[in-house]
Amino acid sequence: MWLLLLLGILAVVYLYRWNQKRLILPNLTNKYVLITGCDSGFGNLAARQLDRRGLNVLAACLTTKGAEDLKKEASRKLQTVILDVTDSQSVSLTANWVADIVGDKGLWGLVNNAGISLPTAPNEWLTKDDFFKILNVNLLGVVDVTIKMLPLIRKARGRIVNVASIAGRLTICGGGYCMSKYGVESFSDSLRHEMAPFGVKVCIIEPGFFSTQVTDAKLQRECAKKMWTRLPEEIQRSYGQQYLEKYCSIADQNLATCNTKLSLVSDCMEQALTAEYPKTRYSAGWDAKLLYIPLSYLPTIITDFLISVIYPKPVQKA
């Protein structure tokens, strides 16, 4: 009896959430959305996808070529701007540009998509500048852009969509990438509480490992080799050449398992911006839903063991 009652409750919850997901906001053609990192990857696809839905897309690209290429594949409504999220002056100029366009309507949606994943390597192989390079884009850039856009978003009682990662739940590699994504999670949570009284919703997208963009995976091996060559001889001896080879082989495995279906992430962005009742967190990819997020709730001793099985161990002791 209790089992049937539990199944009944789960069925009601599922149907309720399914029905909420189907409800789409009206008047999408009157809403403005700013997306960062639209040169390629998730941001580029999301810009074209939302443009087709009729939203007024303001696509921020890092390069002029990226902006020009995007315009060729979108409607005339889509507008582009050159934005370096690590440059506060560039962010301020973009905020003024957006304000002039949206006027009294305000900015309905902000998608903080711009990000990098390299340099990534064992922590001891990296320098402070290597950590800062990633944190400056993935975390501080998100903070700067969001804060400068908040007055426009509050005016529209709109949405903020931050692209984090399952690496913001479970640390899977050394370097600044996981640190930055943990920071995005924390910033998003605090922002959600602060913005709730203003009617602003904050959503987090957590792509799975297999949703990683292929270009990043291709560069991982080269990055590891570059970091290795600049290491002192003592550190190289401590880890051993076999460690480097095993680490690079993992990069090759990552490339082989990458999912080229970027719409797994862009669909989450679209749903977060257009749904009447958006979710707080979106998990993109089966591995995020069924593997990494469940792992993040397990006792540390279990996750440590599983990670130790995957990653190489030094063949010599210091």
Catalytic annotation on 177?
yes
Distance (Å, rounded) from C-alpha 40 to C-alpha 146? 21
- Please compute, for residue 245, the number of CA atoms within 13 A of its CA located in the half-sphere on the CB side: 4
H or E element at residue 201? strand 201-207
- 3-state class of 58 per DSSP? strand
CA distances (Å), 252 to each of 51, 64, 221, 225, 264, in order?
A: 35, 32, 7, 13, 22
Distance (Å, rounded) from C-alpha 206 to C-alpha 222? 26
Query: 80: Cβ–Cβ under 8 A, 6 or more apart, which residues?
Result: 38, 58, 59, 60, 61, 67, 70, 71
Query: 301: Cβ–Cβ under 8 A, 6 or more apart, which residues?
Result: none
Dmax (CA) for the chain in angstroms is 67
Q: Of 32, 177, 182, 243, which residue is the catalytic one? A: 177
- Listing DSSP states for 69-83 in one string gives HHHHTS-TT-EEEE-
- 3-state class of 109 per DSSP? strand
| Length of the chain (residues) | 318
Distance (Å, rounded) from C-alpha 134 to C-alpha 212? 16
Active site residues: 177
